[in-house]
Chain A
Amino acid sequence: MSAAKKIGTQTIQFQFPPSIISTASIVGKKEGEGPLKNYFDYVLDDLHWGEKTWEKAESKMLKEAISKAIEKANKNVNEIDYIFAGDLLNQCIGATFGIRDLGIPFFGLFGACSTMSLSLSIAAMVIDGGYADYAVAATSSHFCSAERQFRFPLEYGGQRPPTSQWTVTGAGAVVLSSQGTGPYITHVTVGKIVDLGIKDVNNMGAAMAPAAVDTIYTHFNDTGFIPDDYDLIITGDLAKVGKEIAEDMLKDKNIDISNKYTDCGIKIFESEVQDTHAGGSGCGCSAVVLAGYLYKEMLKGNLNKILFVATGALMSPTSSQQGESIPAIAHAVTIQRTLG
């Protein structure tokens, strides 16, 4: 028996496309000063948010984003069947500690910065499969907790190269439902791990671009869609360097997305003014751009069909210190305002 909902090599076409019924986003101060500031639900003044540690602050952001999204959907916590969430911290403590008091069945995911499309994909599959009526997909990142885990202490006097990216402080949550009036998730292209040997952790965009290219290319092959079917194709956090590479590599494969394409890491900051170099990164980057900007623009009718491709770099400080290259992944999710 063949899988009825699978098309092509890596794509799922939903039989009963789940609907996004609400979203919520919480961001840090810097993100709240960026070009998308009006799209977020809450902007933190203080990156500690009254907590003792950065990790606690991140967990609180995720918890509040999830609670807010559930509240906006007019649901009770006990009506949510599952949460799918993850983050960048070791053992995903941002997610687990954030939701430990919510009492909602939980699937913990790790997809690094691809977690938003990963959680969205699995939540949508679970709903389409009839295993849930309501599911939350969520993720977070925090500049300070990421810096101390992956790089240097905040007060350390170092210089960032122009290719480096700025981890977004933010949490985004999306509530999916089997009932709803859209936007709908209609297709998911699950990415493969791609590693073209980039070792420079200050050039994550370049490390992840081939994974995004692979997934986008496969998506078009599997679905038969063309770039013009979409109003927007948006990758997660390739930022300036990675976006250019992805665009070029797709062009080499005769897929020109350049007039439809942007990147969450580019949208979220005004990099020249905000000194974020190549742009934003982190799980929170694509999460808040989706939960804030993209969702609201879809509701307004300014975007009808988008391809959301969160990208993740799957290395750890240990693997980098041991001289390993950076494996990357990207998952593509088609979101459509109306069906048909």
Chain B
Amino acid sequence: MEQNFTKQEYQKYVQSKSPNSPILKNIVMAFLIGGAICTVGQGISNFFKARGLSMEQVAGATSITMIFIGAFLTGLNIYDAIAKHAGAGTIVPITGFANSIVSPAMEFKSEGYVLGVGAKMFVIAGPVLVYGTTASIIFGLIYFFMKS
């Protein structure tokens, strides 16, 4: 075949031929569903506050409850069905973090509890943990030296 396209030309051409993601629809859905998850979180937070927990306890209890809900819905094969429409709306909240840990744990159970569940559980969330923790240490240090 005579090469009609250079690689650059072909990539440009492919881009023009490939349909884009429906960005506006995705943003609206992410806003609505992500917002709904946050509203549920706020409701849970209010509930714990009303039960007389301290602010620190409320934050912890709310996170734990939301993580449970995310994990539970993942186990019921529901979370991914919502996420298909919500995109970032289900990835960003803490429920998405739970989903990213529970889903590989479920998937790789077939390779056993050590090399499957144990090893693969953090395959998606691992990088978030590594760089999230690193970033918080760096910013913590900057904060520490700025204060002192």
Contacts and interface: CB of A to CB of B under 8 A. Distances in A.
Contacts of B96: 157
A10 to B, nearest CB: 11
B99 A157 contact: yes
Nearest to A206: B14
A146 to B, nearest CB: 13
Nearest to A202: B18
The secondary-structure label for the interface of chain A is loop
B10 A198 contact: yes
Size category, A interface: 35 or more
The secondary-structure label for the interface of chain B is helix
B79 A155 contact: yes
Given A197-B10, A198-B14, A155 B1 contact: no
A155 B14 contact: no
A157 B80 contact: yes
B106 to A, nearest CB: 6
Contacts of B148: none
A157 B83 contact: yes
A163 B107 CA distance: 25
B91 to A, nearest CB: 7
Interface string A146-179: 0010001111111111110000000000000000
A244 B103 contact: no
A162 B21 contact: yes
A226 interface: no
Given A159-B84, A161-B21, A153 B1 contact: no
Contacts of B86: 157
Given A156-B103, A159-B83, A197-B11, 7 more contacts: A155-B77, A156-B80, A158-B91, A159-B21, A206-B18, A241-B18, A244-B17
27 contacts: A52-B110, A53-B110, A54-B110, A148-B107, A153-B104, A154-B106, A154-B107, A155-B75, A155-B80, A157-B91, A157-B100, A158-B80, A159-B84, A194-B1, A196-B5, A198-B11, A198-B14, A203-B18, A206-B14, A206-B17, A218-B1, A241-B14, A241-B17, A241-B18, A249-B4, A252-B4, A253-B4
